[in-house]
Chains A and B, each alone.
Chain A
């Protein structure tokens, strides 16, 4: 796992290894991350009013998957590098 921008605050790290079941779905990994890092992490990727994921990009290797209209059922393999980018507008 690689974290960027303010997600590094919520996790306290730039990257970490996660054990996964071969073929685990991406959405399952995100749910496990929320369990692992708690509400401070959840509030940084989910809208607190609606409870839905904010729009942001997730990269699995070089493949970009949208949190709002991408394939969150994407099956992961051991050795995949998953990057969580930043749900921020402006700039």
Chain B
């Protein structure tokens, strides 16, 4: 065992320019202060990237990282993350995927893989334990992600290898391209374009090492308790196994917070046709689980008839049903499954892809984009055929696909004519499928988050299930900070959001602590763990502040701050800017950030042992 349990004890550095691999030892201090996952990603990128660099240039880096629990049977430890400077907004971005890529990386003996530089020609890299090889990927360039993985497995005779790869969208530098391993996506923020810029088509990993823990009996006891809790809980023991995340679709609509037609309203008349129940009855052929997970929330679907017959897809998840369904005015689950499968094949984030199309649909219906400007497509809400054609254009950047491949915020700037207010983005990241207008705490959590338009920092769950009143302002700065602490911790452990109701929804708990201690033997105390989450959050914040992000960037999409929800159960709700600014004052105070600038204060940074950040931000 390394100094602590769970860790491999070293990082792999891949220099794509010179095709060289090297080893970076993991230090005890790094593990103890930054834990893993986003802690490693943020620390590495903060230290190694110069501010102002081009996200798609050779100076940017891309980090695959796991936490200490990956490779063990801690529930949902199959997850792992990727970290880079986002091509959508030039800020720190982290994205995560399930499956078993992260554990395999650990079995190969690596806690993280740092990809840097830029190859001259398409390349893929194989990592078999300590043996690393750079290989020609010319024959793979242009291939879809699933085909890429199949070819590599066959060529190498390695059917059990884990392969992270990009599709044509990553190669074409589509700014919301993603990374795919198996059929799971590290979806958001455009990380696939960063791999494309480095001409790294795929990273192949196979490992034979063990992951060790200090006391196996104690470990098994703690983990067994968590499995029992998961199975006893109605959400993780019944709801998610039955319907997966699509189960929330009808609930969102019933509350009047289901983004519809580019968020012009939040009630969708076709909800019953795209519900989790409808998907289960019509399309689901198999339930599937990630490594070390008893929930089995993934639904394998098969479209058996109609224009999309033959489509086989892992998913779609709720976010995808929102993005290609209600938000594009589409009530066909079959088309949504087709668009989801295409997203995985091409290698784009389903949330941003759907959001960019819904943005274009609103521009088209309002006469801002003409039929000629959208390549002759009748891009009205609900036009399924046009939507599928748009998806193909992302993979080729042909015609209007080239404009929209830049993401909604950049496209709006190019289009002009007032289209900016129809780009539903926060920090230039397209908004996920939860309503900032209809949930006050989530709204603040998102606005102040590192990732902007992602639902993974500010969280909707506490308000959606009624633990917190979604309509009131009282306590929402505390709620926003609490949920951000738990998401930060979950992302440093690399555990799945499905367990948030088990391990802790709005606070760091002894459940989190016990799992980390039983794996690592660090014997952390709860306040130390809270400090770890705050340290990671402040490194991410410092990265963004160093790039120029300030208080004025912690805002919502224009529509959410100016247009009340027009109808339905949440009619009249929105987030006026003065209300948001008032909540931010209190939030910054809780965080120890300067109220004028939004930068963490020097005292806050020093308290968290972030002396370099304090020096950089207060020169």
Mask, A53-73, CB within 8 Å of B = 1, is 011111100101111111000
Given contacts A43-B238, A47-B233, A88-B247, A57 and B465 within 8 Å (CB-CB): yes
Q: Does B466 contact A (CB under 8 A)?
A: yes
A89 and B224 CA atoms in complex are apart in Å by 21
Residue of B nearest to A61 (CB): B569
Q: A64 near B234 (CB under 8 angstroms)?
A: no
**Interface segment, one of A2-10, A19-27, A29-37:** A2-10
Q: A86 near B466 (CB under 8 angstroms)?
A: no
A4, A50, A83, A88: which contacts B465 (Cβ < 8 A)? A88
> What size tier do the contact residues of chain B reach?
35 or more
Q: A89 near B277 (CB under 8 angstroms)?
A: no
Shortest distance from the beta carbon of A17 to any chain B beta carbon, whole Å: 19
Q: B466 near A55 (CB under 8 angstroms)?
A: yes
Residue of A nearest to B505 (CB): A89
Q: Chain B contacts of A45 at CB under 8 A?
A: 234
Q: Chain A contacts of B237 at CB under 8 A?
A: 43, 48
Residue of B nearest to A68 (CB): B467
From DSSP, what is the main secondary structure of chain A's interface residues? Answer: loop
Given contacts A89-B505, A91-B248, A6 and B461 within 8 Å (CB-CB): no
**Interface segment, one of B102-110, B148-156, B250-258, B558-566:** B250-258
A85 and B254 CA atoms in complex are apart in Å by 8
Q: Does B243 contact A (CB under 8 A)?
A: yes
A43 and B318 CA atoms in complex are apart in Å by 23
Q: B254 near A44 (CB under 8 angstroms)?
A: no
Q: Quick one: which of B453-510 are within 8 Å of A by CB?
A: 455, 460-461, 464-467, 469-470, 496-501, 505
Count how many chain A residues have C-beta atoms less than 8 Å from C-beta atoms of the other chain.
36
B229, B247, B319, B498: which contacts A6 (Cβ < 8 A)? B247
A44, A56, A88: which contacts B466 (Cβ < 8 A)? A56
A2 and B460 CA atoms in complex are apart in Å by 23
Shortest distance from the beta carbon of B295 to any chain A beta carbon, whole Å: 9
Q: A6 near B255 (CB under 8 angstroms)?
A: no
Residue of B nearest to A58 (CB): B466
Given contacts A5-B243, A48-B232, A89 and B250 within 8 Å (CB-CB): no
Shortest distance from the beta carbon of A25 to any chain B beta carbon, whole Å: 18
A4, A47, A62, A88: which contacts B232 (Cβ < 8 A)? A47
Shortest distance from the beta carbon of B573 to any chain A beta carbon, whole Å: 12
Residue of B nearest to A50 (CB): B232
Q: A46 near B234 (CB under 8 angstroms)?
A: yes
Q: A5 near B465 (CB under 8 angstroms)?
A: no
Q: A87 near B235 (CB under 8 angstroms)?
A: yes
* Most central of B232, B236, B466, B569 by chain A CB within 10 Å: B466
Q: Chain A contacts of B254 at CB under 8 A?
A: 2, 4, 59, 83, 85
Q: Does B228 contact A (CB under 8 A)?
A: yes
Q: Does B73 contact A (CB under 8 A)?
A: no
Q: Does B276 contact A (CB under 8 A)?
A: yes
Shortest distance from the beta carbon of B494 to any chain A beta carbon, whole Å: 15
A65 and B465 CA atoms in complex are apart in Å by 10
Q: Chain A contacts of B232 at CB under 8 A?
A: 47-50
Q: Does B239 contact A (CB under 8 A)?
A: yes
Q: Does B297 contact A (CB under 8 A)?
A: yes
A4, A6, A62: which contacts B238 (Cβ < 8 A)? A6
10 contacts between A and B (CB under 8 A): A48-B233, A54-B235, A55-B465, A59-B569, A66-B467, A85-B251, A85-B465, A86-B250, A87-B235, A90-B245
**Chain A residues at the B interface, C-beta cutoff of 8 Å:** 2, 4-6, 8-9, 43-50, 54-59, 62, 64-70, 83, 85-91
A sample of 5 more A-B contacts (CB under 8 A), given A85-B255, A91-B248, is: A6-B242, A8-B277, A48-B237, A59-B254, A69-B466
